[in-house]
Amino acid sequence: MAAVTGWRRSGSSGAVDDLRRLAPPSPATVGSPRRTSSASGGGGAASNAVQVAMARLEDEFRHVLSSRALDLEIEALADLTSLSMCSDRTNSADVAEEAAAADEDDSVSSSVGRRSSYRSLRSIREIDLLPADAISDLHAIASRMAVAGYGRECVQVYASVRKPAVDSALRRLGVEKLSIGDVQRLEWEVLEAKIRRWIRAARAAVRGVFASERRLCFLIFHDLPLSSSTITTATHDAPFAEAVKGAALQLFGFAEAISIGRRSPEKLFKIIDLHDAIADLLPDVSDIFAASKAGESIYVQAAEIRSRLADAVRGILSEFENAVLRDPSKTPVPGGTIHPLTRYVMNYSSLISDYKTTLSELIVSRPSACSRIAPEGNENAPSFPDLDLADPDSQLPLAAHLIWIIVVLEHNLESKASLYKDAALSHLFVMNNVHYIAHKIKDSPELRGLIGDEYLKQLTGKFRLAATRYQRTAWLKILNCLRDEGLHVSGGFSSGVSKSALRERFKSFNAAFEEAHRVQSAWYVPDTQLREELRISIAEKLLPAYRSFLGRFRHHIENGRHPELYIKYSVEDLETSVTDFFEGCPPSLHNRRRSHG
Amino acid sequence: MPATDSSSAAAPLTSFGRSFLSHRRDQIPPPPPDHHSHSHTQHPSSSDLEIDAFHRHAADLLHDLLSDSNSDPSAPDLLSLAWTRRLLDSFLICLEEFRAILFALADSQPLSRPPLDRLLLDFLDRAVKALDLCNALRDGLDLIRQWRKHLAIAAAALAPAPAAQRGEAQIRRARKALTDLTILMLDDKDAGGVVGQRNRSFGRAGTTRDSLPHGHGHHRRSSSGGSSGSGSGSHLRSLSWSVSRTWSAARQLQAIGGGLTVPRANDIAATGGLASAVYAMGAVLFVVTWALVAAIPCQDRGLQAHLTAVPRTFPWAGPLITLFDRILDESKKKDRKHSCGLLKEIHQIERCSRQLMEVTDAAEFPLADDKDSEVQEATQELVQVCGSLKDGLDPLERQVREMFHRVVRTRTEILDYLSRPHNAG
């Protein structure tokens, strides 16, 4: 390098001295942004010397800019664990949230679950990219060149040296060169991880790298007479914009690719995270880029991407609602237990309520009219419940969506319930699922707050209705065996009990109960408390009735032949058998267990 | 969203009543439900008419792009910046009409009913490939902008100074800038996979540039700029492509146009003619993206992709094939074969800078009058190229971005429509 430029470099101060020797500021050129028209015109030798000097200065500028750049720990800017470059506001609450155990029913993956804390740059942090003396040398060189009318060359060199440095910094932060096609081909779990990394990298890139680059450019160029035939208000930012534009577009390109991906429900929460991260960055992006024309387009693009992500959020929510509506009902879930769809939807809804801050801003319209009105050929579409007490003007659109989601879920569950051949099981299925829905709502204060107690009351009502129906369908016939009517041959109580009728009754009761016991033990009520309550309520009706029946009529049987054929069970036997109900496994296994225990 | 800059394209467009036609479309009511009962062979239904109009309109748009300055003095030259903007305008108009037709006829021809759903999804897949191209093309335009900056230095050095001041210093300064430019353009040719000339010597402007990179083959310039110390040429190799090493414009084009099959007659009948509209839109998408890749520098700019057997029965088939052929011819011309982009202005850059270098080669100072007027003339041209680039690049970039937006929007709308429950098949 020294050979090319022909002068020895004796440190940066030597370079500045050489400057003064080679390109003395002539009176005609100082302060004039124009080219050295008068100075170079007649005096060919002088202007030649200037040109040669400028060429050397250009090289010197390049040399200082590239060789004096500081070795920075760029990666630390985005490092989740290292706090050295991060500002002090760490959020330990977020960490606790992240570590919290996921719902054991959680069919939504736990990485989608709670909001992760993205500990990275929270505000602009300008870092020194070069030492101060190098910067002042660069400023001196740039100002000589600008005054001599060679500002363009200087700007060119600046951009050509800083651009690869910026690109390299972004590479070190983990920003990848992914095309839209690449992003489309990747599995969502892979993309989720990339989104997490991207959020950290973007904060470091915008608030650290770009902010620092802008400052460097400012320090070198801000007060210089940079000539341009079209002076815009911010020519001084132009070198910075040029150095950074490609990297910035590449950075935001990833977020853009995510925003135009296919909309599927699993993506909702990560996309909200991405949206929020960009919304959070926009003010800083504006600060850093809005000054120059080239930079402005970056701000515009970032804002566009945020808007697209908002659209994607709305679209995904719609897609989710449709998916719940369309979930096919082919085979009934065994044992009438909680359907996986119910768990999925309630977990999803719970998460929606967790994200309600952003979602309340983004979801501005109620569920679309065309989904609510029964479309042609689909007479069975659910209709929006008449919640007179919920004033449409005061109810958040998000809340309306949540209620709609549950309405749609219930509607879908109805068709799933109709798959059961056994009506009692069908009712039990409804009980299980509605109970679960109500339970999840009560469990989450946010969800409950959004959905409201009015709707919760409706759910409870539905539950009770299903419970009543179950009882009637499953037990009416059995309990009818224990009635008085039809057993007495003449009018009075104490005289004339038809023994044959009585024997029939006992036989019917035994058969029916055994059948119920066999069948309903295989049914499943997952919620322990509900299971117990159900058993208790059965026992409450069954045992007194049987006790009373036995008390009244047993002596008739015991006085006859083979009483054991008819009175097979004591009240205690029945009581024990009831505990087999709703265990989800056949009673024979139970008996075997009990005999061991 | 930035509005499309249509100021330069306004005149030819309205002269064909284009905007009128697209407004008219919105006023055509969808055909009444019982219309189809007597629509078949006797009288074309209004949907047939609309689809025919769409085909014919596409043909008109393509015809316009072929008009040369003999028949229409205001027509921009093929592959110039102004022409490329017209190309994009035409695409956007076509896309908008396509979209309008789909949704206007969606009641009678549900988009989710096979085979239309399959055809639409196929089209949307191809459209997504175009998005990556839009981004790459924006980088290519930025590259041209960088070249322009070097030209501007040379122009600033040489113009508008009167003869007395066009001394050695100015000439040297201009030559330095143009040398840097040439190296830059060579480097990008290398990265584009097109073999360019190397090892030129550049005379008196400075040291010989024999430190050019050798034997690169498919070397992609990394962004580290590690060889900044050696040779004065390598420092300019800083404009790395922002796509990955394996990304290829040629492959994107192949994905857009490859396998675009002519719709079968029963598919056309089953979809009320919309299948042919989808095919037409796919063909237009292909030829537009292909032309853009031909014009603008990007990574791996192979132009081998083409459409197979476009039936001449479509009114737009003729002009489409002619357009394709004309651009292909341009790419084979001797002086354009190794260019990094067929954009006319790129050719002008190459020509102007070469001309100025030749004219100032071994110049003696002070310049003789005839030499000086040669320099003046060459400078004039240079200034002109600079000017047309400055005016033309930014609007074109905005249009490319607009193309991106519209394709995304159309795709989102169609996908949303297909996924709604009452539309599910």
**Are residues B170 and A250, on separate chains, in Cβ contact within 8 Å?**
no
Residues of A in contact with B408 (CB under 8 A): 260, 308
Which single residue is written with the structure tokens 């400052």? A215
B250–chain A nearest CA distance, Å: 14
Q: Residues A330-387: pLDDT tens digits?
A: 999 999 999 999 999 999 999 999 999 999 999 988 886 444 444 444 445 566 654 4
* Chain center to CA of B334: 21
pLDDT at A17 (0 to 100): 54
Model confidence band, residue B189 (pLDDT cutoffs 50, 70, 90): low
Residues of B in contact with A408 (CB under 8 A): none
Nearest CA-CA distance, residue B100 and chain A, Å: 20
Nearest-neighbour CA in chain B from A575: distance (Å)? 49
Which residues, in sequence order, are CB contacts of B243 under 8 Å at separation 6+? A177, A179, B132, B135, B136, B139, B299
Phi and psi of A54, rounded to 5°?
A: -60, -40
Domain ranges of chain A: 54-72+119-318, 331-368+393-467, 482-580
Q: Which amino acid is at A471?
A: Q
Residues of chain A with pLDDT > 90, as a percent, come to 60
Segment B139-152, tens digit of pLDDT = 999 999 999 999 99
Nearest Cα neighbor of A336 from A520, A465, A523 is A523
> B229 in contact with A at a CB cutoff of 8 Å?
yes
Q: Please list every residue in chain A whose beta carbon sits closer than 8 Å to the beta carbon of residue B390.
A: 230
Residue of B169, B207, B244 lying closest to A177 (CB–CB):
B244
The shortest CB-CB distance from A253 to any of B135, B240, B420 is to B135
Residue A569 has pLDDT above 50, yes or no: yes
Overall average pLDDT of the A399-412 stretch: 93
Kindly determine whether residue B240 and residue A164, on different chains, have CB atoms separated by under 8 Å.
Answer: yes
Q: Which of B220, B228, B289 to mutate to test the interface with A (most CBs of A within 10 A)?
A: B228
B411 to A371: CB separation less than 8 angstroms, yes or no: no
Q: How far apart (Å, rounded) are the C-alpha atoms in residues A294 and A296?
A: 6
b vs e for A213-222, b when ≥16 Cβ sit within 10 Å of the residue's Cβ?
bbbbbbbbbe
Q: How far apart are the first and last CA of chain A?
A: 91
pLDDT at B114: 86
E-strand spans in A307-390? none
Task: Choose the weakest-confidence range: A2-16, B202-216, B374-388.
Answer: B202-216
Chain B residues with CB-CB distance to A245 below 8 A: 142
Q: Which of A492-501, A582-591, B68-77 has the highest mean pLDDT?
A: B68-77
Over residues B322-374, the pLDDT tens digits come to 999 999 999 999 888 888 899 999 999 999 999 999 988 887 777 788 888 88
**pLDDT score of A21:** 61
**Mean local confidence (pLDDT), B378-402:** 93
User: Contact A111/A76 with Cβ under 8 angstroms?
Assistant: no
DSSP secondary structure letters along A465-523: HHHHHHHHHHHHHHHHTT-STTSBSSSSSSS-B-HHHHHHHHHHHHHHHHHHHHHHHSS
Nearest 5°: CA angle at B193, between B188 and B198?
A: 60
Highest mean pLDDT among A36-50, A148-162, B5-19, B44-58: A148-162
3-state secondary structure of A391: coil
pLDDT at A385: 56
Buried (b) or exposed (e) across B135-144, using 16+ Cβ within 10 A? bbbbbbbbbb
Contacts with B266 (C-beta within 8 Å, 6 or more apart), sequence order: none
For the purposes of burial, counting CB atoms within 10 Å of the CB of A580, is it exposed (0-12), middle (13-18) or buried (19 or more)? buried
Q: What is the mean pLDDT of residues B50-55?
A: 92
Chain B CB contacts of A180 below 8 Å: 128, 131-132, 135
**Residue A32 burial (CB count, 10 A):** 18
Q: What is the pLDDT of residues A475-527, one digit of tens each?
A: 999 999 998 887 777 655 555 778 888 888 999 999 999 999 999 999 999 99
* Residue A39 pLDDT class (50, 70, 90 cuts): very low
Q: Give mean pLDDT, residues A236-242.
A: 89
Q: Which residues of B touch A324 (CB under 8 A)?
A: none
pLDDT at residue B221 is higher than 60: no
The pLDDT value recorded for residue A23 is 54
Kindly state the average pLDDT of the residues A442-463.
93
- pLDDT higher than threshold 80 for residue A90: no
Mean pLDDT comparison of A495-504, B130-139, B158-167, B373-382, highest-scoring range: B130-139
pLDDT digits (tens, 9 = 90+) for B224-276: 333 333 334 444 444 466 788 888 999 999 999 988 999 999 988 888 889 99
Mean pLDDT of all residues in A84-104? 36
Helix (H) or strand (E) holding B331: helix B317-332
Q: What pLDDT does residue B1 have?
A: 41
| Optimal mutation site among B137, B242, B386, interface A, most CBs of chain A within 10 A | B242
Q: How many helices (H) and strands (E) does chain B have?
A: 12, 0
Separation of alpha carbons A485 and A508, rounded Å: 15
Write down the pLDDT at residue A291: 80
> How confident is the model at residue B5, as a pLDDT?
42
In this prediction, residues B170-188 reach a mean pLDDT of: 88
Residue B310: pLDDT over 70: yes
Query: Quick check: A193 and A273 in contact, CB under 8 A?
Result: no
Q: Give contacts of A156 with chain B, Cβ < 8 Å.
A: 149-150, 153, 180
What is the per-residue pLDDT for A389? 42
Q: What is the pLDDT of residue A35?
A: 43
What pLDDT does residue B164 have?
Answer: 58
Q: Is B344 on the interface with A (CB under 8 A)?
A: no
Q: Mean pLDDT score of chain A, rounded to an integer?
A: 81
Q: What is the pLDDT of residue A93?
A: 37
CB pairs under 8 A between A and B: 153
What ipTM describes this predicted complex? 0.79
A594, pLDDT greater than 60: no
The answer for residues whose C-beta is within 8 angstroms of residue A349's C-beta and 6 or more apart is A402, A405, A406, A440, A447
Dihedral class, residue A492 (left if φ above 0, else alpha if ψ from -120 to 50, else beta): beta
pLDDT in tens, A297-340: 999 999 999 999 999 999 999 999 989 998 998 999 999 999 99
Determine contact, residues A138/A220, Cβ cutoff 8 Å.
yes
* Cβ atoms of residues B338 and B196 within 8 Å: yes
Q: Which of B86, B75, B69, B70 is nearest to B9 (CA)?
A: B86
Give the span between the Cα atoms of A69 and A330, in whole angstroms.
66
Residues 6+ apart with CB under 8 A from B421: A322, A325, A326, A371, A375, A378
Is the pLDDT at A27 greater than 50, yes or no? no
**Which residue out of A36, A150, A154, A156 would a mutagenesis test of the B interface target, given it has the greatest number of B Cβ atoms within 10 Å?**
A156
Name the β-bridge partners of A583.
A524
The answer to whether the CB atoms of B412 and A315 lie below 8 A apart is yes
**Of 3.40.50.720, 1.10.10.10, 3.40.50.970, 1.20.1280.170, which CATH number belongs to A54-72+119-318?**
1.20.1280.170
pLDDT at A238: 87
Q: Is B351 on the interface with A (CB under 8 A)?
A: no
Query: For A43-56, how does the pLDDT look when each residue is reduced to its tens digit (9 = 90+)?
Result: 567 788 888 999 99
- In this structure, chain B runs to a length of 425
Give the gap in angstroms from C-alpha A83 to the nearest C-alpha of chain B.
Answer: 27
- pLDDT at residue A194 is higher than 80: yes
Compare CB distances from A246 to B232, B242, B415 and report the shortest one's residue. Answer: B242
- For position B87, what pLDDT does the model report? 96
User: In chain B, whose CA is at the least distance from the CA of A40?
Assistant: B165
Burial of A285 (0-12, 13-18, 19+ CB in 10 A): buried
